[in-house]
Structure 1
Amino acid sequence: MDAAVKLIRHNGLGGLRTVEVADLAGVSRGALMHHFPSKHELVVAVLTYVNEVTFTQSTRRAQSARHDGGDPIDSIIKDAQDFFFGDYFFIELAIGMSDESTRRLKRETQQFARQTRFSIEATWLDTLISSGIPEQLARDVLALTLSVVRGFSVRMLIENDPERFSRLLAVWRKIVRQHIEDSLPKPSRKRT
């Protein structure tokens, strides 16, 4: 799976060759074809794997943020950066934006990719609510925070400036904290 992820990220979906996957993974082409009889089946398996790994990592991080008493906004940003700045997001983006030749692949993988992202977002929403943030405010903060991080990840395609993005995300944290503080009723304000 890791070999296929690396090659899809490097060569694009159209440039994926099962021979190269087998070579990079250190297995024979026959062994690869035994488990994945077609390139299509390999890519579906890769995306299933990617979504399972992402879901597990994000769920653990959200549970940790909920129980450690830290700043859930920091944890959301870190989790979003790990996904949106990583290979997995760009592979899913490439498939989502591909042409008609991958229509079947898009149809087969889009649903579980959506379910994974929505499940992760629901977990983060629960984490924010459990920290004392009212539900609608938590929904807004989560949607905006994920959009900001996702926007920077796409921006990386034309401007690779991680230091600037880190500085701007620190500004975003301050804005969100202030917005949450201003939105909570005075007697029940809780530092987030």
Structure 2
Amino acid sequence: MVATQRSEQARSRDTQRKILDAALDTLVGEGYSGATTLRIQKAAGVSRGALLHHFPSRDDLLVAAVHHLAADSMRRQVVRSDLPEQSAERIDAAVEGMWANYSQPYFWASMELWLAARNHPGLREALVPLEKTVGSLIRTATDNFFGPPLTARSRYPDLRELLHTSMRGVAMTYAIDPRDPTTDPHLPQWIAWSYDHLLD
């Protein structure tokens, strides 16, 4: 009986993950208006009943999908231990790591929901707790990128917010002008800001 219950729970988790992955892919590929439950259901390869069992609301599903990927990604970054110890090299790696997040699928999925929420009070209400949770994870991951010696500097909190705000704005321009983010001209500027704030 216990083994059967565990098997059923495993199948349920597997189905839920398929639905979340399909919802995210559909949201990034088709946008908010195109991410219908029918498209998500087909992409996940599940029945209508299974989809509705796990996620009765389309918006709840889309919000959960973004949270699912963002949380997984941020948690992996929080435990990274492959970053340089020397301050200048650490800053270079930290800024590059931060910027890399703004070309990830969860960023574009989040932006789709943000824009849709502008005229959709129900979606906006569902997004608020998600953004608080993901925002906290992003700050923690950023702190891990820079490391304790640099995050202890008095100007670090302001720098962190400045970098994220600027990076988000620059990343949005890639929606209409796709290019290689690793050669973005803002990258050396963000590193220079970081040197100015964190190095004596």
- Does residue 20 in structure 1 map to residue 36 in structure 2? no
Residues 135-150 of structure 1 aligned to structure 2 (within 5 Å)? 135-150=153-168
CA contact (8 A) 2:93 2:145 kept: no
- Does residue 90 in structure 1 map to residue 108 in structure 2? yes
CA contact (8 A) 1:129 1:138 kept: no
CA contact (8 A) 2:78 2:140 kept: no
2:65 maps to: 46
2:121 maps to: 103
Q: Secondary structure at the match of 1:136?
A: coil
Count of residues paired in the alignment: 179
CA contact (8 A) 1:12 1:94 kept: yes
Q: TM-score, normalised by structure 2?
A: 0.72
Query: 1:73/1:146 Cα in 2 relative to 1: closer, same or farther (>3 Å)?
Result: farther
1:60 maps to: 79
Partner residue of 1:4 out of 7, 23, 32: 23
The Cα shift of 1:162 comes to 1.9
1:187 maps to: none
Of 33-42 and 97-106, more deviation after overlay is shown by: 97-106
Paired amino acid for 2:109: I
Aligned sequence identity (%): 21
Query: 1:82/1:176 Cα in 2 relative to 1: closer, same or farther (>3 Å)?
Result: closer
Query: 1:165/1:158 Cα in 2 relative to 1: closer, same or farther (>3 Å)?
Result: farther
The Cα shift of 1:126 comes to 6.3
Of 9-18 and 136-145, more deviation after overlay is shown by: 136-145
Paired amino acid for 2:175: L
The Cα shift of 1:133 comes to 5.6
Query: 1:34/1:179 Cα in 2 relative to 1: closer, same or farther (>3 Å)?
Result: closer
Structure 1 stretches (4+) deviating beyond 4 angstroms? none
RMSD of Structure 2 on Structure 1 (CA) = 2.9
CA contact (8 A) 1:9 1:90 kept: yes
Q: TM-score, normalised by structure 1?
A: 0.74
Partner residue of 1:155 out of 173, 176, 195: 173
1:69 maps to: 85
> In 2, Cα distance between the equivalents of 1:3 and 1:126?
30
Of 130-139 and 82-91, more deviation after overlay is shown by: 130-139
> In 1, Cα distance between the equivalents of 2:150 and 2:34?
48
The Cα shift of 1:153 comes to 0.5
The Cα shift of 1:100 comes to 6.3
> In 2, Cα distance between the equivalents of 1:120 and 1:110?
15
The Cα shift of 1:5 comes to 0.7
CA contact (8 A) 1:40 1:105 kept: yes
> What runs of 5+ residues in structure 2 fail to find an aligned partner?
1-19
The Cα shift of 1:8 comes to 0.8
Of 42-51 and 13-22, more deviation after overlay is shown by: 42-51
- Does residue 130 in structure 1 map to residue 148 in structure 2? yes
Q: Secondary structure at the match of 2:97?
A: helix
